[in-house]
Each structure stands twice: as C-alpha cells, then as structure tokens.
Structure 1
Amino acid sequence: MAGTAGSARSGISLAEPRDFLALLKPRVMSLVVLTAITGLMMAPGSIDASLAVVAVLSIALGAGASGALNMWYDADIDAIMTRTAGRPVPAGRIEPRTALAFGLALSGLSVMVLGLAANWFSAALLAFTIFFYAVVYTMGLKRSTPQNIVIGGAAGAFPPMIGWAVVTGGVSLESAILFLIIFLWTPPHFWALSLFKMKDYGRAGIPMLPNVAGEAATRFQILLYSLILVPVGAAPFALGFAGPVYGVASIGLGAYFLWLAFATYRMPDADPKMLPAKKLFGFSILYLFALFVILLGEAIVARAGLL
C-alpha cells in the first residue's frame, strides 16, 4: 500500500475505470436507483420513457457524486478501517483532489440535467440530497455525534421523493411514507453493522453508538427503531397505495425483521460471534430491497392496466 500511495503522490496515476466506478459506491447507487424508480413509477401522472431514463440516470449520477465526495473527505479514516482501506483514495490509486473534482463535476452535471429534462423542483431536491450527504452527514455529523446515522439517514431516504417529484413536480403523503421507510430502516441496519465492527470504528475515531453508549443501549435502540419501522413498512398497504402482495410481504418480512431485532436485543455484551447482529444486518438489506421491488412491480402492473 505504501508503494501505491507513493506512486499517487509522485503524480503517476494508477487509476483504472473500475476505480472511478468504485468512487460512485455502486452498491449504494443500486438502492438509490431502485427506490427512485419506484417513486417515479408510483407517482400519479404519465411520463415519457426517454425522460424517465434520463431522470433516473441523473439521480444515479447524483448518488455517485455523493459517494465520491464522501470518499474524498473520509480518505483518512477509510485508510484505518479494514472494511474501507481498499477504496481507491486511501489505497492511493486515485488522488484526493481527483476524487473531489470528480464528485463536484458529477454533482453539477446531475442536477443540471435533471432540472432541464424534468423540473427544477426535483433538481433542487437532488442538489439538497447531495449537499446533505456530503456536507451535513460526512463533514458534520459522522465524526461528531453518535446520532450520525439517524440524522444522516435522511440523505439515503430522499431518492423515492425525487422520483415522485420528477413526475408530479412536488411531494405527497405517499412519497413521504416511502421516505420514512428508508429513514427508519437506516439506524437498525447500520447499528447492527457497528456492533460487530466496533473496533474498526473505534480505531477511526467515529462515535458510533456502540462505542459511545455501549452495546446494550445500541441493541435497545435497534429494537426500538425496528418496532417503529415495521408498521411504517406496512403503511403503503394500510393506506391503500400498495396492493395485497405488498401487504402480505411487508407483514411477513417485518415479522422476521422484528424477530432478528429481538434476538439482537437479547444478545449478551461482548458476544464473540454476534450472529444475531450479523443476521439482522444481512436480512435488513433483503428486507428493504424486497419491499421496494414489490412496490415497483405492483406499480408497473398497475400502469400496464393489469390491475
């Protein structure tokens, strides 16, 4: 790694296309794209297919820009954590100033294209999302408060609202519910991860909840947020803007989410394996993806006139 970093400092670029792709955080981007498309397809009103594609690509680029700016700013702590040490900037394959320029360029491009192609309200919402993630969360909250994930989770929850705004030019109760599902999902998802990555976060000096308040308090907060999340996850069906397939799935998946959250709550301190937390972290990803895939599927079927 030292040789790689030295090459970067000497001005020799070791970056490959996959390194710039990694800057975009493609796994996070995939969730952003899914939730944005879901909001777009569920929104009332029609939208041209080509416009929809341009809008989704703009939102994806905006998410990628946020990821690049995050990796630029967090290069110092990413180098300390085993989970992130291989990222392009701390590994020395991309210079920090290159990541910064890349992120800023994509930010401006994504917002401008979305505004010109769709409407400026959705573009402003995208710009605010990038700002919130890169500045409010990454630069402000992440290193200063154990509530970083709670407040910062809003950034990842905006994409379905942006997709909705692309079609309608505004937001609504339905899009707010989609926002809340992701917002409430974020704390139990990341706190489950932080339980078995405490040493990593501790070395990096990030005040994640287990490092500040302890494991027991974190497990209780995971259970508390899960108890709120699961009813909100079923709200689209209860409020009549999702179908019976979603209703059954949200209840079944939510019940298992709660079971894992309760198992995590009962997990003893300093559990060397932390299997319940690891299972909850893994299942939480499936839970969110499944809910939005089903919502998207029902929206597509409805738009096709099959419901």
Structure 2
Amino acid sequence: MSSVTPVPVDPRAEQAPRTTLSVVKAYVALTKPRIIELLLVTTVPAMMLAARGIPSPWLVLTTLIGGSMAAGSANALNCVVDADIDAVMKRTKSRPLAQHAVPTRSALIFGVVLGVLSFAWLWTTTNLLAAAMAVGAILFYVLVYTMILKRRTAQNIVWGGAAGCMPVVIGWSAVTGEVAWPALVMFGVIFFWTPPHFWALAMKFRDDYAAAGVPMLPVVATPQQVAKQIVIYSWVMVAWTLLLLPATGWVYAAFALLAGAWFLVFAHRLNSAVRKGEPNNPMKLFHLSNSYLTLVFVALAVDSALSLPVLGLPF
C-alpha cells in the first residue's frame, strides 16, 4: 500500500484563527468530542458494576474528567499524524489541521499536555493503576494503531480498536484499584463491537479510504467478504455480552439478549442484501451500533444499581 502524497503546505497554515471562539472550537474539535461521549457512556456502567451499586459521585466525576483528557489527547495526536489523510477524505477534510485552523506544532503540544494532565489528574484523584492504563491507551492508539497499523493492514481497526476498550478497564480500576474478570469481559464486548461498527462506516466511505491509501477491509476485500466478517464479529460480540451474566442481574440479561438479537437482524440483513447484489445502506448498521452499545451499557448501569447478580459469582 503506497503512502499518502503529502498535502502542500498552505502559507496560512500557521496563522491562528481570528477570534477566541474559533480558537476554542478548533481545539475542542481536535479532541473529537463525539467519540469521547461514547467512551464515557461505557465508563460509568463499568464503575457501577465494580461498585455493585452507585460509586462516589466525586470518583465518577474525576474519572470522567481524566478519561476525557486522555481520550482527547489520543484524538488530538491522531489528528496530527493523520493530517494528510484527513485532508484527502471528504468525511474528515473539515477537521482543524486539514483546514489549517490550528498550527501543527500547537496541536502536537496540546495533545501531549492533555496526556500529561490526564495522568497527573487520575493518579491524584483515583489511583496509579488507572492513570498508567490511561497513558497506555494513549500510546497504543497513537503509536500502534495510528502510526503502524492504520496504513499497513486491513486488520488495523481490529487490533487498533483495543485502545477504545480501555475506558471500561480504567473505570473499573478507579473503583477497585485492580482489574478483575468482569472488566476484561466488558473490554471484550467493545473489542468485538469495533469491527462491525467501523467496517459498516468504511463500506459507505470506501472510496475515501482508498483515495487516502488506508487499507480498511472494504478497500481490500469484496463487499461480500466484508459483510460476512461483520456477521461473524456481531455473533461473537453478542455471545461475549452473555459472559457478564454471572456478575449481573435480570435487567442486563434481558437487554443484552434483546439488543443483541436486534443487532444481529440488521447485520444479517446487510449481509443478505450485499450477497444478493441488492441496494443496501451500511450506515444503518453503523448508527445502530452506537445505539446498541449505549443500550447494553445503560442496562448494565441500571442493573448494577437495582439488581442482584443472577448467579452471585464473586469478582
């Protein structure tokens, strides 16, 4: 896979935006707030399961602040490394560095400072384990996924997506000071959720990824192969959610089964349409995947607050 042709530097690239508000908006955009929102949705339920109830509101707040800074750091540094790709892809060409709204050096400093602050904040307000794992997630996302995997292999999002699974483990460790098996199961749920989520998006924007030289699976494989892989990962994801049943109650069990069946129906519909050469819209599955993950983890939070474990197995 050839590397992306460098984007010519605009003479205005190092000029700051004219207003304070535009500066703030540009730096906030570097952190990709919508991605952070989804990560936080999974963190709070993980903390509630770890506490078997409602943890300290202060602990939840400090963990979310530290997690947001860590995710913002990773996303900002990702924008720095991927500025050439973002400028080529229609979906990302409005990002700050692609639009020269933020100087590259400033974005780099911003990302590093956020990472340092997240470590210091989490260490001070939670514990060293949570802080160290936050830094590990940043480094993995930037160095392993963005700089190594993304431009070299169609399995980029499979293994690179592990960084996005870390918030649940960080949230668990913030409460307990350790990592137990339910945290690893939640990690696995998000790990297996990531490929169907991103491959559905990549099916829609296949030409974008191809133009940018990014070997996402839909770029290097046939639509039929991609749809089949989405179905396989979807089944593993739904099955994996059931591994939490020994530590959860009936509320979670019911929603994990119902939401899982809902997701599988859409995954199979996409696969069937692609296999038959019929019109299809993979973005339906992409948007559904966000709703699915939110629903499962909200059910986990409610279950943790209200229910007793089905089997009562210890953590």
Could you state the TM-score of these two structures normalised by the residue count of structure 1?
0.91
Aligned-pair CA distance for 1:242: 2.0
Decide whether aligned partners of structure 1 residues 175 and 12 sit closer, same or farther in structure 2, where only a CA change above 3 A counts. Answer: closer
Q: 2-side partners of 1:193 and 1:271: how far apart?
A: 19
Q: 1-side partners of 2:81 and 2:275: how far apart?
A: 33
Note the aligned Cα RMSD (angstroms): 2.1
The reply on whether 1:36 has 2:35 as its aligned counterpart is no
Identify unmatched segments of 5+ residues in structure 1.
none
Could you tell me which of 280, 286, 300 is aligned with 1:281? 286
Could you tell me which of 89, 98, 101 is aligned with 1:90? 98
Counterpart in the other structure of 2:17: 13
Q: 2-side partners of 1:230 and 1:142: how far apart?
A: 26
Q: 2-side partners of 1:258 and 1:48: how far apart?
A: 36
Counterpart in the other structure of 1:251: 257
Decide whether aligned partners of structure 1 residues 198 and 272 sit closer, same or farther in structure 2, where only a CA change above 3 A counts. Answer: farther
The aligned amino acid for 1:259 is V
Aligned-pair CA distance for 1:225: 0.6
Decide whether aligned partners of structure 1 residues 98 and 269 sit closer, same or farther in structure 2, where only a CA change above 3 A counts. Answer: farther
Aligned-pair CA distance for 1:284: 0.7
Correspondence 1:1-307 to 2 at 5 A:
5-9=10-14, 11-14=15-18, 15-44=22-51, 48-237=56-245, 239=246, 241-268=247-274, 273-275=279-281, 277-301=282-306
The aligned amino acid for 2:280 is M
The aligned amino acid for 2:138 is I
Provide, for residues 207-255 of structure 1, a one-character-per-residue CA deviation record: whole Å limited to 9, x for no partner.
0111112222111111111111111123323x2x222122111111111
Decide whether aligned partners of structure 1 residues 47 and 266 sit closer, same or farther in structure 2, where only a CA change above 3 A counts. Answer: closer
Q: Is 1:194–1:208's contact at 8 Å kept on the other side of the alignment? A: yes
Q: 2-side partners of 1:292 and 1:299: how far apart?
A: 10
Aligned-pair CA distance for 1:295: 1.0
Aligned-pair CA distance for 1:157: 0.5
Aligned-pair CA distance for 1:170: 1.0
Aligned pairs, number: 297
Which range moved further: 210-219 or 100-109?
210-219
Q: Is 2:273–2:279's contact at 8 Å kept on the other side of the alignment? A: no
Q: 1-side partners of 2:114 and 2:288: how far apart?
A: 32
Q: 1-side partners of 2:161 and 2:107: how far apart?
A: 23
Q: Is 2:16–2:103's contact at 8 Å kept on the other side of the alignment? A: no
The aligned amino acid for 1:97 is R
Could you state the TM-score of these two structures normalised by the residue count of structure 2?
0.89
Q: 2-side partners of 1:55 and 1:302: how far apart?
A: 24
Aligned-pair CA distance for 1:121: 0.9
Q: 1-side partners of 2:38 and 2:274: how far apart?
A: 32
The aligned amino acid for 1:13 is P
Aligned-pair CA distance for 1:5: 4.6
Provide, for residues 72-110 of structure 1, a one-character-per-residue CA deviation record: whole Å limited to 9, x for no partner.
110100011111000111011111111111000000000
Q: Is 2:76–2:111's contact at 8 Å kept on the other side of the alignment? A: yes
Residue 266 of structure 1: SS of its match in structure 2? helix
The aligned amino acid for 1:208 is M
Q: 2-side partners of 1:290 and 1:48: how far apart?
A: 23
Residue 246 of structure 1: SS of its match in structure 2? helix
Q: 2-side partners of 1:110 and 1:18: how far apart?
A: 21
Q: Is 1:5–1:93's contact at 8 Å kept on the other side of the alignment? A: no
Q: 2-side partners of 1:296 and 1:132: how far apart?
A: 28
Q: Is 2:16–2:101's contact at 8 Å kept on the other side of the alignment? A: no
Q: Is 1:24–1:63's contact at 8 Å kept on the other side of the alignment? A: yes
Alignment identity in percent? Answer: 37
Q: 2-side partners of 1:253 and 1:6: how far apart?
A: 51
Q: 2-side partners of 1:259 and 1:288: how far apart?
A: 15
Provide, for residues 29-51 of structure 1, a one-character-per-residue CA deviation record: whole Å limited to 9, x for no partner.
01111212222221147854323
